[in-house]
Chains A and B, each alone.
Chain A
Amino acid sequence: MKADQQVYRKNFVLVVAFLVLISLSLIAALLLGFNLTKKYVENEFYSAKINVQEEIVKPYEDFFQNKIPEISFYQGYLDSVSVVKYVDTVLKRFDFVTKVVFYDTEISNHQISDGLKMGNMAVSPRSVLQFKRNIKPDSVVLYKSSLPNTLSIKNSDEFNKMAIRFASFIEAVDTAKALSNDDIFYNISPSKITYMNIPRREELKIFKDLMKKSVPVSPLYQEDILTFYLEPQLLKIKNTHPELYQKISIKPLVYESIDTNPNLIATDIALPGALADYKLYFSSYRDYLNKEIARRFLPIAIALILIYGVLVTVAYLIFRNLNINSKMFKLQYDFINNLTHEFKTPVSVIKIAGNNIRSSHELTNVERKHYGKILDEEADKLNDLMNKLLSFTQIENRSIKLKYEEISLEVFIQNVIDTYQLKHPDFDIDCAIDDVGYFKSDPVLLASVFSNLIDNAYKYSPADRKQLDIRVRKAKRNIEFVFTDSGIGIPASEINNIFRKFYRVQSQYNQQGSVGLGLAFCKELLNFMNGDIFVTSVVNKGSVFTVTLPFEV
């Protein structure tokens, strides 16, 4: 039989396999994440030093790019008085500048006692001054041109270097072109920067003439040369990555740590420009880095676990839906079973009656009437069953139309009761109408609701308590029909299910002749007519069904 292939399947193995798989994935992802984070942090330890260096060197860059070129703004007009102001701002702002030497320079073709002469061009200091923090006033002046031949080689070393550099520049300069490279006016050596103000293009032309030609005695052209002495160790250390570096220090270029602890990790980077014989030295212990690794891994782990949680929840929800669907499947299956059964009884009765009629040679009048009645009744049953199914689908699809008519309640209810009492003489139906005469509704549909409810009341009542009380009353804008029976009642656990399609409360009263459509059909009908239905019930005492419909006259 192929039937068992169509049976609704629940594969628990699949569910378990899924759970195991995602749990394994979780563990793998956690491990991978941890390792990557560790690698990343270690790499960063070696690469982030550039950012730290940039930050530490910023004041130096500012000094080098902005403050030093400012000398050129003075166009050589700095003298022993005005230079003090400039130098003060330098010493105040830049801690790493320890000493400034100012050469108030004159360029001419005169005879000179101190300074350099190249061709006919003489570059000589008019005065040499030095500035430090807290310097004694009497040690400021190193040289004055009023005292010739007193300039020591030590004090003129930087000056001479610059003068030679400048002279070789003048020798080669193309004065027709705009001056493009100004780096010539910097002389950078370890811990020292010498700068000469950039002369104007016109002056360069004059200097070239001074050097190469013999021209009459020239005026003195003022230029400024300043030497800055730097102490890299005084640079302020700013640890912009405190999470990576436990300790940052400025060390000479040749420094190596003698700490033998294998857990110590270190790296270094050289300082730029005039600071180049020093480096930044970074070190951390492994524990310190581990803390950082843990800190960065935490959010990853949380995210992974969250994803895992979501997956499990989704899996649970899918499982639950499958369960519900399987129940639905079972209900429909039962329904078909019942329906078949329902059809089978009248059909087999008809078949027996047919057989009997065929096999008997002669039918007595009583027999004919008996079989006729049987056939008629069973055909009615089938018809009724089919009507119910049809109208139910129609209602569900909203393909029928309401036909409102004015109904006299008293006549309408009395007709229904009369029919039932003819059918079931043992059924005791009581009716009371409070203050309502007429109202508008579709009589066919309303009768359908009535017959369903009355049917149920009869069906689910023990033989000795077959009684029903119908009350009609007005409630605000609605009309209420209350059906109170003394039947077996509905257990509280089932009360929410009784209006569902194909649902039947399991009891001895519905072994046959019930499809579980009645109440569902009523509810659909009432919804369709803008009404509603409620139930309250006590087991073995009885149930109260309340139907409300909008009151229209």
Chain B
Amino acid sequence: MFNIKPIYGIILLMAFVGCRRPERAKRVPLEVFFRNPVKTSFLISPDGKCISYLQPYNNRLNIYVQDSAGKTCRLTNETDRNIASYFWVDNDKLFYMKDRAGKENVRLYAVDKNTASLMDFMPQGDYKIKILNNYRVIDNQLLIALNIRDSSLFDVYRLDIKTYKLKQAAKNPGNITEWYADEKGKIRLAEASDGVNETLLFRLDETKKFSPVLTNNFKTSIAPIGFCFSDKDRACIYALSNQNRDKTALVQFNCKTGKEERTLFSHKDVDVSEGSYSSKLMKVTYAVYENFKKQRHYLDDSVKAIFQDLEAKLPGSEVRIVSRDSTDRKLIVRTFNDKTPGAYYKYTLNDKNLVKLSDVNPSLPESEMSEMKPVQFTSRDGLIINGYLTLPKSSDGKNLPVVVIPHGGPASRTSWGYNSEVQFLANRGYAVFQINYRGSTGYGKNFWKSGFKSWGTTIQNDITDGVKWLISQDIANPKRIAVYGSGFGGYAALSGLCFQPGLYSCGASYSGITNMFTYIKGIPPYYKPYLQMFYEMVGNPEKDADYFRTYSPVFHTDKINVPVLLAQGAKDPRANVNETNQFVKELKKKGVPITYILKENEGHIFNNQENREEFYRKLEKFLSDNMNK
């Protein structure tokens, strides 16, 4: 009898040990996070009979179509690059865009749904294409803007989707930056810019000339969303405006008088970021604002009812309508939340029937993903800064290794939702900290403006303050903090390594900006009108040469003492590879451990899955090597 007791003891002890060790999240393989989605970009044909989607074929995204009988076929045969985007132009035809190796420009092709025959109808040359008027085809005509005549100017063309004939619809006199068409496809609004000031132009119909409505400095914007009426008042538009206010609001605006007529919706803390315009109803059905996540304010009861039904059917998920047929009765709905990229559903309004089409990433175990929580801290000068913190699943939230990810831009923001990079790092045991530092958009005009000419100074302070706040909350282990970002985020990372010695144990930059001179010089020709604006936002390379030199990491390699990872596409037009090479050479000479990933055939972003996976594999190793995990 007696010898049973110790066995109980051992079992108890084992149970105790078992409980003590926090149950760690299962290690999900890297490929699962970064693999191309199985099926994505679902669209419904205008007649509602077919559903199309992108699916990898030979590792590249291609278009597939499924008819109402459930028969599926692949329409395209692209093996070098992913299809970037596509859309239905009528019941039988789809247009798609594919980027070309090493160039940032995409090219437009057409493919027939029934015969899968491909048409490469656009003129040859190196130009950009923008689809206007919300991809709507009116009288077989699609409105597109091309900078084919002069790389710095976009003219409007009408593209006949049957004959593929291009006809110029409006010629750019030299200063127009945006074009807007009404529900009949007539170009009646435009925005002109002299680089700093933006002028809204309006005309009653295409036969007349544009006349200026009002001129604003670029810091104030009136962004048209759609026209209010078809005939009653042809000068009334809906717009997102921050004229005379800090936070952008959804307003009704009269182009004849240049006066705002009423405010449809505004939010006291954040900008209204979007208005969903229905050209059928000729009204804005809801406004979107983003506090900690995107929220809808409904302006139409029928739309509200649809969303409420969807939300009731899909609890715990964010819901977006991504495609609708011509009658608006059949919808494609996309769900997501912070732990999953979600799924696509088909929703039929008539019977309120919801059918799941596909998970975006079915191999991703939602239960192993981590929650993305909004956080807030106060910067050294008293500004409230918002951010997000993703703690590794089942951690106690104390003394964790942290990866700080400043977003790019800087005129951009981190939004709540699924992010494979963040979830990947959290799954590897890192807390991920994302900061909407000053200069980020969405928090009003003043917050955005306070980031002007503040690269490396107050913007960097906000990031540093955020990290210090995280340390003071005992969440971060002060010896195990890494900083990583791309674009401006990469700049912030390198700048943190240069100018906040001791704060970070290593840093990684993915196509990061190392030199502000290069950044300004790299503004593409069609952005030239904006140059003055860039000078105001970032700085003038001649007048502010001292500021540029003081805060560009490329001049301060001698101050970096911790390991660095640099990833760069050799064809990135925004960076100068020779310069990155020089940066690497100097760090190497100094004996700083450096991991350099240079991809000859990639641009600003690594597009090919193999390159992307290689990058993340190296990033994972780099972080684990240098944060003594």
B573 CB within 8 Å of chain A: yes
State A124–B259 Cα separation when bound (angstroms).
Answer: 51
Asked if B555 and A75 sit within 8 Å, CB to CB, the answer is no
B518 touches A178 (CB 8 A): no
Q: Is B515 interfacial (CB-CB < 8 Å)?
A: yes
Contact A72 B571 (CB under 8 A): no
A202 and B573 within 8 A (CB):
yes
Residue on A with the closest CB to B522? Answer: A200
Q: Confirm or deny: A77 has a beta carbon within 8 angstroms of a beta carbon on chain B.
A: yes
Q: Which residues of A contact B402 (CB under 8 A)?
A: none
Instruction: List, in ascending order, chain B residues with CB within 8 A of A70's CB.
Output: 555
How long is the Cα–Cα vector from A79 to B102 in the complex, in angstroms?
33
Mask of A47-85 contacts with B, CB within 8 angstroms, 1/0:
000000000000000000110011011111111011001
Among B46-78, those with CB < 8 Å from A are none
Please give, as numbers and ranges, the residues of chain A lying within 8 Å of B573 by CB-CB distance: 200-202
Contact call A76/B521, Cβ cutoff below 8 A:
yes
Task: Determine the distance from Cα of A524 to Cα of B589 in the docked complex, in whole angstroms.
Answer: 77
Tell me if B115 is interfacial: C-beta within 8 Å of chain A. no
Question: A75 with B518: in contact, given A176-B102, A198-B578 (CB under 8 Å)?
Answer: yes
**B294 within 8 Å of A (CB atoms):** no
Chain A residue numbers with a CB within 8 Å of B545 are: 74, 77-79, 81-82, 85
Complex Cα–Cα for A217 and B573 (A): 24
CB-CB under 8 A from B576, the residues of chain A are: 72, 75, 198, 200
Q: CA A472 – CA B431 in complex, angstroms?
A: 89
A82 to B546, CA, bound (A): 8
Q: Which segment, of B132-140, B197-205, B466-474, B579-587, faces chain A?
A: B579-587
| Chain A residue contacts of B579, Cβ below 8 A | 72-73, 198
A178 to B581, CA, bound (A): 12
> Which of under 10, 10 to 19, 20 to 34, or 35 or more describes the interface residues of A?
20 to 34
Q: Least Cβ distance of A213 to chain B in Å? A: 14
Annotate B550-586 by CB proximity to A: 1 below 8 A, 0 otherwise: 0010110000000000000011010011110010011
Q: Which residues A67-116 have CB closer than 8 A to chain B?
A: 69-70, 72-79, 81-82, 85
Q: Does B301 contact A (CB under 8 A)?
A: no
- Identity of the chain B residue whose Cβ is nearest the Cβ of A202 in the assembled complex: B573
Contact across chains for B578 and A72 when beta carbons are under 8 A apart: yes
Residues of B585-615 contacting chain A, CB below 8 A: 585-586, 589, 600
Contact across chains for B552 and A73 when beta carbons are under 8 A apart = yes
CB of A386 within 8 A of chain B?
no
Report how many residues on chain B are interfacial, defined by Cβ distance under 8 Å.
Answer: 29
Q: Give A518 Cβ to nearest chain B Cβ, in Å.
A: 66
Task: Please report the C-alpha to C-alpha distance between residue A201 and residue B576 in the assembled complex, in whole angstroms.
Answer: 8
**Cross-chain contact B582 with A77 (CB below 8 angstroms):** no
> Is A179 interfacial (CB-CB < 8 Å)?
yes
| CA A73 to CA B517, docked complex, whole Å | 7
List A contacts of B542 (CB < 8 A): 77, 79, 82
B488 → A minimal CB distance (Å) = 18
Q: Is there contact, CB below 8 Å, between A65 and B518?
A: no
Contact B571 A73 (CB under 8 A): no
Query: Do B578 and A73 touch across chains, with their CB atoms under 8 A apart?
Result: no
Q: Does A434 contact B (CB under 8 A)?
A: no
Assembled-state Cα–Cα distance A72/B555 (Å): 11
What residues of B have a CB within 8 angstroms of the CB of A72 in the complex? 576, 578-579, 582
Answer whether A77 and B570 are a contact pair too, CB < 8 Å, given A66-B586, A82-B542.
Answer: no
Q: Is B185 an interface residue (CB 8 A)?
A: no
- C-alpha gap A456/B223 in the complex (Å): 132
Question: A157: CB under 8 A from chain B?
Answer: no
Query: Given A73-B515, A77-B541, A82-B542, is A179 in contact with B577 using a C-beta cutoff of 8 Å?
Result: yes
Decide yes or no: A73 and B521 within 8 Å by CB, A82-B542, A178-B570, A200-B576 being known contacts.
no
Contact A202 B541 (CB under 8 A): no
Given A66-B586, A176-B102; A75-B570 close (CB under 8 Å): no
Query: How many Å lie between the Cα of A85 and that of B546 in the bound state?
Result: 9
Could you say which of A77, A82, A182, A202 contacts B578, with CB atoms under 8 Å apart?
Answer: A182
Mark contacts of B84-127 with chain A using CB atoms, 8 A cut-off: 1 yes-contact digit, 0 otherwise: 00000000000000000010000000000000000000000000
- Bound: A397/B570 CA distance, A: 88
Query: Which residues in window 505-545 of B have CB below 8 A to A?
Result: 515, 517-518, 520-522, 524-525, 541-542, 545
Interface centre among A66, A69, A73, A78 (most CB of B within 10 A): A73
Name the A residues within 8 Å of B525 (CB-CB): 202
Of residues 147 through 195 on chain A, the ones whose CB sits less than 8 Å from some CB of chain B are 176, 178-179, 182
Report yes or no: A73 in contact with B554, Cβ–Cβ below 8 A: yes
Q: Is the CB of A75 within 8 A of B515?
A: yes
Give Cα A198 to B515, complex, Å. Answer: 14
Closest-by-CB residue of A relative to B540 is A77
Q: Within the complex, what minimum Cβ distance (angstroms) separates B535 from chain A?
A: 12
| CB within 8 Å for A75 and B541 given contacts A178-B571, A202-B524 | yes
Chain A, residue nearest B586 (CB): A66
Chain B residues with Cβ below 8 Å from A179 are: 577-578
Cβ contacts under 8 Å, A178 to chain B: 570-571, 577, 600
| Chain A residues with CB below 8 A from B586, complex form | 66
- Name the A residues within 8 Å of B102 (CB-CB): 176
User: CB-CB < 8 A to A202: which residues of B?
Assistant: 522, 524-525, 573
CB-defined contacts of A82 to chain B, threshold 8 Å:
542, 545-546
Q: By the criterion CB–CB under 8 Å, are B582 and A69 in contact?
A: yes
User: Least Cβ distance of B521 to chain A in Å?
Assistant: 4
Residue positions of A touching B, CB distance < 8 A? 65-66, 69-70, 72-79, 81-82, 85, 176, 178-179, 182, 198, 200-202
- Which B residues are closer than 8 A to A by beta carbons? 102, 515, 517-518, 520-522, 524-525, 541-542, 545-546, 549, 552, 554-555, 570-571, 573, 576-579, 582, 585-586, 589, 600
| 9 residue pairs A–B, Cβ–Cβ below 8 Å | A65-B589, A73-B554, A73-B579, A75-B576, A77-B521, A77-B545, A178-B600, A179-B578, A201-B573
In the A-B complex, the 7 residue pairs with the closest CB atoms:
A82-B545, A178-B570, A77-B541, A75-B517, A75-B521, A198-B578, A73-B554
